[in-house]
């Protein structure tokens, strides 16, 4: 069952197209990384999913309750961080013990008595994260939730999100911190210039990016006709193909390297530069 469905989504602001025919799905029980350069359309898509922005055309919908972290929070400036989280716990029917866990996961232990009005923008974003974690909606939409978190809080957040998915919840997480995405997410959607450039199981996508180097570059490229290839730094990168099929195709070509590129950074850069 898909908890998130984005279908042919277009969002324009005047003459600017922020999202251009974007489609993807996120299955229930997944932690999905939502990746792309600045201006790729990630925040706009999240705002449509939140119901804060209407699409120009197409659709973006979530199944069940939705919560998370975006650029607006709606907190009262005179209330303390603790009071806002107490209200969030009360609305969700959660015990106050959950507040302490959310404070740790959002790296807010030392700001509990601070008024919201005295908090920095980063602290308010972490407060939004803590409130969303307490409410435990069916779908969590998170825009750069790791911003300002120390390593202990990052680990607590990662465990919390994976536990949420394990209990049947769904997470869509936009982040530029690729190491955290690789450690947290089981799926990714990569967008560039408002369009989808990749979607699927993270490990499968990583395994389908193969790097080859040969002293016979022309012969190598000839052998790889029919495969999707790009060239970078003296190597040929094959994407979307099984390693065994590539190996059979280049039999007879002298190779200095044939490796599966396991780094998410290499996959991300290759996808977004080529688009």
Domains along the chain with CATH numbers = 2-200 (3.40.50.300), 208-274 (3.30.70)
Please name the helix (run of DSSP H) or strand (run of DSSP E) that holds residue 242, with its range, or none: none
Q: What is the mean pLDDT of the chain?
A: 90
How far apart CA 105 and CA 152 sit, in angstroms, is: 8
Q: Residue 158 has which token pair? A: 């990662």
Beta strands across the sheet bearing 209-213: 228-232, 235-239, 209-213, 257-260
- For the chain, the straight-line distance linking the first and the last C-alpha, in angstroms and rounded, comes to 30
Query: pLDDT tens, 38-93?
Result: 999 999 999 999 999 999 999 999 999 999 888 667 799 999 999 999 999 998 89
Query: Strand 31-35 vs strand 235-239: parallel, antiparallel, or unpaired?
Result: unpaired
Specify the pLDDT at position 242: 80
Query: Rounded mean pLDDT of 188-213?
Result: 90
Specify the pLDDT at position 269: 82
Q: How many CB atoms lie within 10 A of CB 145?
A: 29
Beta strands across the sheet bearing 31-35: 66-69, 139-143, 170-174, 31-35, 187-192, 195-201
- Selected residue with higher pLDDT from 105 and 225: 225
Query: pLDDT tens, 26-46?
Result: 999 999 999 999 999 999 999
């Amino acid at each position: 069952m898909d908890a998130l469905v984005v279908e042919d989504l277009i969002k324009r602001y005047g003459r600017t197209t922020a999202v251009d025919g974007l489609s993807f799905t996120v299955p229930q029980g997944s932690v999905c990384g939502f990746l792309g350069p600045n201006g790729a359309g990630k925040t706009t898509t999240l705002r449509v999913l939140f119901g804060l922005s209407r699409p120009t055309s197409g659709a973006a919908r979530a199944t069940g309750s939705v919560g998370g972290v975006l650029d607006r929070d709606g907190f009262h400036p005179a209330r303390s961080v603790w009071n806002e989280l107490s209200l969030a716990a009360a609305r969700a029917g959660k015990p106050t013990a959950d507040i302490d866990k959310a404070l740790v996961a959002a790296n807010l232990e030392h700001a509990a008595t601070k008024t919201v009005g005295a908090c920095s923008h980063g602290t308010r974003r972490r407060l939004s994260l803590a409130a969303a974690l307490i409410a435990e909606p069916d779908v969590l939409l998170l825009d750069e939730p790791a911003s300002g978190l120390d390593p202990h809080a990052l680990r607590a957040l990662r465990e919390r999100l994976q536990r949420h998915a394990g209990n049947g919840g769904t997470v869509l997480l936009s982040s530029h911190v690729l190491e955290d995405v690789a450690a947290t997410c089981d799926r990714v959607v990569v967008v560039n210039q408002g369009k989808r450039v990749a979607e699927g199981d993270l490990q499968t996508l990583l395994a389908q990016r193969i790097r080859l180097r040969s002293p016979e570059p022309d012969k190598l490229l000839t052998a790889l006709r029919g495969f999707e290839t790009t060239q970078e730094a003296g190597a040929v990168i094959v994407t979307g193909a099984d390693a065994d099929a590539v190996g059979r195709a280049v039999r007879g070509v002298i190779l200095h390297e044939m490796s599966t590129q396991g780094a998410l950074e290499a996959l991300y850069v290759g996808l977004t530069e080529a688009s």
